[in-house]
Structure 1
């Protein structure tokens, strides 16, 4: 199995890559979908070298530090400089595992199974579809043009979804804020849970979905008069059907506010871009 030790800037080109696992500490990481040959371009390495392995039998590509495992990313505590800036290009259907400690990361154009983990770094998912799982401690996750499934969990990190058309969106935070601008297909399901973080969702005013929102002590507001708001000691709720229903939106908090906003009709934003 070919292996390289990367301790200075450089570029590698690989044969077939069927799966990517990349793990870095600090710096910047970009994973981009490409129709060309899979490549790794490193423009900065400070501290321990990166180890690159490519299994030519099954096509698996790994770029990581020897002592940084996928399961150990969220609990990384080792001192010392580990800064790198790198860009990887792989086929758009290639499964990806991208882990960062404090580095920022961009994953763009992937259409397969994508997993991202981070401690405090910012993660951007740009035009990523398929099945996506994102897990952070305090780092934020921003998704642009989501299509497919997204599962997000965090302690205090925020989730922002811009122009999303998810099949499934599941978000769980303790104190992180969830902000989502969504268009919902008839079979879409959105579930958001937070302890104290605010939840803000914007939907087209002609959306077809069932809505259920609950909070123990947080404020609940809605721009849709069709929905029923109830408030009793220890419980506040928002429920009802918009349009013909079929899709579903559920939001629950303990002390966080829930806000449901009304936006442009479904498909209008795409027409304006054209």
Structure 2
């Protein structure tokens, strides 16, 4: 058998194995891949689902959120360790688990379905980023809509029109694109976010991705920690009794679909 046929891209050559760091600074210099992994798994569940559950159901699902955070850490850690030690990709390792197979292990089919639905979630997450940026800079989309031909109404008539037969509906005086951006002001920011992500990944620079991800993960962690510590000093402190209720392992029927959806 030729050498090319025996080549395994997932095999871990012995000369690629590095000695573990022995000092804190040396260990911190090795956390880049872990930071990127942390940034990749922080998504709509952490940023949107948990906040919506809290807004709609209070602290009832606090225990479930804490449990999922703990489980996620151990699952990600052990899968990563096994992949490194065995040289097998994660999906290949899961495919070797005991259980029924339909061409592939049933867990892999569940993973495929999850990934297909995640693609649709990416659009929702991009729109959420656009909404956040539009709230921070509301004049940008308004200016873009104006330059693309949007004509606002004044007292029920299009600006610049005259009463009577010369009056024209807004949709006739505004361009389609201008009216669209006026109705959906997050759209320009969402498009910009998509192009920025494509450009970042297209560059193929690991160092750049590591630096940006580190800033985002550290920044998000510090902001969350600071906001939590500052909350008792505001007009909306967290009562200890509410936190205790969230640790009673209750499952409100009205929120089960949202919690596990």
> Which TM class, normalised by the smaller chain length?
under 0.3
Report 1 or 2 for greater relative contact order, CA contacts < 8 Å, sequence distance ≥ 6: 2
| TM-score, scaled relative to structure 1 | 0.21
Give 1 or 2 for the bigger CA radius of gyration: 2
| TM-score, scaled relative to structure 2 | 0.22
